[in-house]
Structure 1
Amino acid sequence: MNAISPRALLIRGMLAGLLAGAAAFLVAYLIGESKVDAAIAIEEAAAHGHDHGEEAPVSRALQATAGLGTGVLLYGVALGGIAALVFAFALGRIGRFSPRATAALTTGALFVTVTLVPFFKYPANPPAVGDPDTAGRRTALYLLMIALSVLLAAGAVILGRRLAPALGHWNASVAGGGAFVAAVALAYVFLPGIDEVPSDFPATLIWQFRLVSLAIQATLWATFGLVFGALAERLLVPAAASREAVKEAVQPTN
């Protein structure tokens, strides 16, 4: 199976990412934009009486449609390409799983490391929450959390594979997973926290916005895993079957 060119998987990963981005855009537009509008209304109400002579260079309607769609689609294509390359590396190295199962496992692992782990430390905030002067620092910490999560996950996989001969695959996997959780917990403790939510900002709106943000990411990754798994299966399984047929054809008969 690994004889398939990574380029073929990359193209299918980007296509699956495009479709996943479209699904995520629908979720963001249908249930997410209302939360953004509510947060913007609170921000404008708090700034009432200040100078509003300058208009936004891009209208809110354009931001919520073309701007949002373009951003989410590009994000999906980029993540799809990266996930496809991770899949190409993992195929056949994490066990004797089918391409579809490998895609599901790879996508799930990426969702946990790239989305869930950073989200629980630095969750998304709606507009009007956060000091603009600390935006660079907050972004850097978020990216650092993603990098740490990916490195810790890779370390947990390596640990599990080295423990497998002595403990067995199941116990080694549990040990690797436990080490990952413990290391992430330490990272949560030592990395600085960020709490810039105004005291008068509605807690319900923040909670809803964060749930929607998580739903968008879950939709993106779930759609990608399903679509890419199907595309990878169609690419790899016929290729493997044809190679087996060729081997049988050239084998001498008794």
Structure 2
Amino acid sequence: MTGRLLYRGMLAGLLAGLLAFGVAKVIGEPLIERAIALEDAAPHSHGVEHSHEPAAPADEGVSREVQRTLGLFVAIVTYSLAMGGIFALVYAFCMGRIGKANPKMFPVLLALSAFVIIYLVPALKYPPNPPAIGNPETFQERTQLFFLMILVSVVAALIAVNVTRRLSGSMRHGRSISAGVLSYAIIMAVVGGSFPSFSEVPDHFPADLLWDFRLASMGVQAVMWGGIAVAFSLLSDRLLDAVLNPKQANPKRA
């Protein structure tokens, strides 16, 4: 069962990755091109020149053409494929362990939770930046802190699930869920407040371009996780029916 779900999860991740690549190519890349043009036009003496997020440093020998085509495709599809596999494993583990969750609706809730936990909350502390934003000297520190923020978010989510399960026997289901969500929010607020912040946006950088880039980055993630949820639900529909309703799936055995 787990193996079949894993296969479907990775296939869902592949399909979602292709869709997310299309969104990134159509919406995100023009914004990156605008940011690069601003970076090239800005005097180097006016502050920080390069940012690590969308583009590799020039001395690595990776052309911009490769970055925005093959590089972008491989990065997004590989990431989405991996997330689809992890998504399927988490779903298989949670089946029958998360209260009265509907197995066919649970993929949507799981994908929404993953989007919030893995991307949205960490990005609130360390949002993605286009070229011309970011000090190269803080690149390593910012990268480490961002991934540490993701790890803390995942651990906090596990704690929240445990809190919900422990309280579900002594209070109403809705209240136990609220308590779990509150515990997650408190942990992330405390940790986020203790982590260092970075204010590296140049005064001359257009606010609308920065906002559009961050919305586009969020959109790519939302499309990927939404695509995984929908594709996984469709691909696993018959398999779940066979598990949940074995007599209907095999009427001859009834």
CA contact (8 A) 2:242 2:248 kept: no
Post-superposition offset of 1:59:
3.0
Post-superposition offset of 1:187:
1.6
Q: Give the distance between the partners of 1:178 and 1:245, measured in 2 at CA.
A: 41
Distance of aligned partners of 1:48 and 1:141 in 2 relative to their CA distance in 1, 3 Å threshold: closer
Q: Give the distance between the partners of 2:9 and 2:243, measured in 1 at CA.
A: 18
Deviates more, 1:216-225 or 1:175-184: 175-184
Provide Cα deviations, 1:57-77, integer angstroms capped at 9, x if missing partner.
333233212211111111110
Q: Does 1:68 align with 2:38?
A: no
Distance of aligned partners of 1:156 and 1:55 in 2 relative to their CA distance in 1, 3 Å threshold: closer
106, 111, 116: which is aligned to 1:112?
Answer: 116
Post-superposition offset of 1:205:
1.1
CA contact (8 A) 1:90 1:106 kept: no
**Under a length normalisation based on structure 1, what TM-score does the superposition of the two structures give?**
0.88
Q: Give the distance between the partners of 1:118 and 1:245, measured in 2 at CA.
A: 43
Q: Give the distance between the partners of 1:203 and 1:85, measured in 2 at CA.
A: 40
Which residues in structure 2 correspond to 1:24-39 (within 5 Å)? Answer: 24-39=20-35
Q: Does 1:229 align with 2:233?
A: yes
Which residues in structure 2 correspond to 1:141-156 (within 5 Å)? Answer: 141-156=145-160
Provide Cα deviations, 1:57-116, integer angstroms capped at 9, x if missing partner.
333233212211111111110111111111111111112333321211211111110011
CA contact (8 A) 2:164 2:180 kept: yes
Aligned length: 242
Post-superposition offset of 1:232:
2.0
Q: Residue 45 of structure 1 aligns to which amino acid in structure 2? A: A
CA contact (8 A) 2:241 2:249 kept: no
Q: Give the distance between the partners of 1:169 and 1:160, measured in 2 at CA.
A: 8
Residue 10 of structure 2 is matched in structure 1 by 14
102, 106, 119: which is aligned to 1:98?
Answer: 102
Q: Give the distance between the partners of 2:74 and 2:93, measured in 1 at CA.
A: 29
Post-superposition offset of 1:43:
1.1
Distance of aligned partners of 1:246 and 1:40 in 2 relative to their CA distance in 1, 3 Å threshold: closer
Post-superposition offset of 1:19:
0.6
- How much identity, in percent, do the aligned residues show? 43
Distance of aligned partners of 1:38 and 1:235 in 2 relative to their CA distance in 1, 3 Å threshold: same
RMSD, matched Cα:
2.1
Which residues in structure 2 correspond to 1:100-249 (within 5 Å)? Answer: 100-242=104-246, 249=253
Q: Secondary structure at the match of 2:39?
A: helix
Q: Secondary structure at the match of 1:167?
A: coil
Deviates more, 1:35-44 or 1:62-71: 62-71
**Under a length normalisation based on structure 2, what TM-score does the superposition of the two structures give?**
0.88
CA contact (8 A) 2:107 2:232 kept: yes
Larger radius of gyration: 1
Q: Secondary structure at the match of 1:29?
A: helix
Q: Secondary structure at the match of 1:130?
A: coil
Q: Give the distance between the partners of 1:240 and 1:165, measured in 2 at CA.
A: 25
Q: Give the distance between the partners of 2:41 and 2:164, measured in 1 at CA.
A: 54
Distance of aligned partners of 1:128 and 1:183 in 2 relative to their CA distance in 1, 3 Å threshold: same
CA contact (8 A) 1:9 1:85 kept: yes
CA contact (8 A) 1:25 1:69 kept: yes
Q: Does 1:79 align with 2:83?
A: yes
Residue 49 of structure 2 is matched in structure 1 by none
CA contact (8 A) 1:100 1:230 kept: no
